[in-house]
Amino acid sequence: MITFKNLKKTAFTVFMTLTATSAAGQDLLARQAPVDRKMKAVDSIVLNRLIEQEMLENPAGDLYNEWDNELTHYSGSILPDETTIDLRGFCMPTPSRVITSNFGARWGRQHKGLDIKVYIGDTIRAAFSGKVRIVKYEPRGYGKYVVIRHYNGLETYYGHMSKQLVRENEEVKAGDPLGLGGNTGRSTGSHLHFETRLCGVALNPALMFDFRNQDVTGDFYTFHRNRYAAESAQATRLRGVNANGGTGRFDNDSDDDSELAIAAPSASFAPETHFHKVKKGETLQAIARKCHTTVDALCRLNRIGKNIRLMPGQILKYN
């Protein structure tokens, strides 16, 4: 027979059981909380690693749809109307301060970069950190050249080199050697052809790089589609050939020296410094006589030895 006393005892037992279960559940939740936090931390680490891996596989992937080692001029993305490019952490591609040809119209066609005076064998360096996309030889164009895609969205081109020192898909840091200055491809004098492209579209490097002062123009450059033409023209006036009234010149007897132009003054060359392009078979003695100077003066000015092997197209300074 169920008595009130027994019913009361049963109710108390059920209550204690439920209380114990609830407490056990709370203990389980309490123990589970640190596990959840650890799982979230693990998820964050995995996510960050995935993002880093994606960046390594395709730098600036938010601008570029894919990675291509074949197509020199990438055309798989649309140039944004406005975007900001981080110029911090840069390295000048060469210590040369002499621009020999501007970006823009030249001989009836567009010159897509800046030509910077370098000598055969000079070290050419990566402007920013990134990943090498193209290492090729184009005999009727860039010669031996390298293209790097950077994390800031730019792609930089380095043309006419005598030797390439990197491989495709190799990661590089700003300042890493890419190659050596040269005169390969469609070139009639040793120089570096330097391009800056965004989503495959060539932008005037003078908007971002000041070779004369060996610096960038600021920590950031913001591209505005509707302002670009005017800003590019202004950059050329400030930092291009003959900026601020430069009067230096290249001396050569050939009418086909299409890559050589008036050089701007710099810390490297005095305004009245002249240049001679070496022709096939010429010697230091012959050049010294022609330029009314001495072999010793040529060697001292160009930091070369008397027994150096001169290369056709090599540029020598003389006063």
How many angstroms separate the CA atoms of 164 and 182, rounded? 10
Which run of H or E residues covers position 9? Answer: helix 4-57
| pTM (global) more than 0.85 | no
Segment 3-27, tens digit of pLDDT: 555 655 555 665 555 555 555 566 6
**Does position 247 have pLDDT exceeding 80, yes or no?**
no
R_g of the chain, CA atoms, integer Å:
32
The answer to which of 76-80, 82-86, 243-247 has the lowest mean pLDDT is 243-247
Q: Which of 257, 258, 263, 259 is nearest to 241 (CA)?
A: 263
pLDDT at 16: 59
**CATH number of the domain at 278-318, out of 3.40.220.10, 3.40.640.10, 3.10.350.10, 3.90.870.40?**
3.10.350.10
pLDDT at 252: 31
**Does position 210 have pLDDT exceeding 80, yes or no?**
yes
Contact 122, 108 (CB under 8 A): no
- Of residues 31 and 4, which shows the higher confidence score? 31
What's domain 82-244's architecture?
Answer: Distorted Sandwich (2.70)
- Of residues 173 and 260, which shows the higher confidence score? 173
**Does position 174 have pLDDT exceeding 90, yes or no?**
yes
pLDDT at 81: 93
pLDDT at 262: 26
Contact 269, 317 (CB under 8 A): yes
The token duo for 291 is 């330029």
pLDDT at 306: 86
pLDDT at 268: 37
How many angstroms separate the CA atoms of 151 and 131, rounded? 8
The token duo for 297 is 């003066």
pLDDT at 28: 62
- Give the pLDDT band of residue 267 (cuts 50, 70, 90): very low
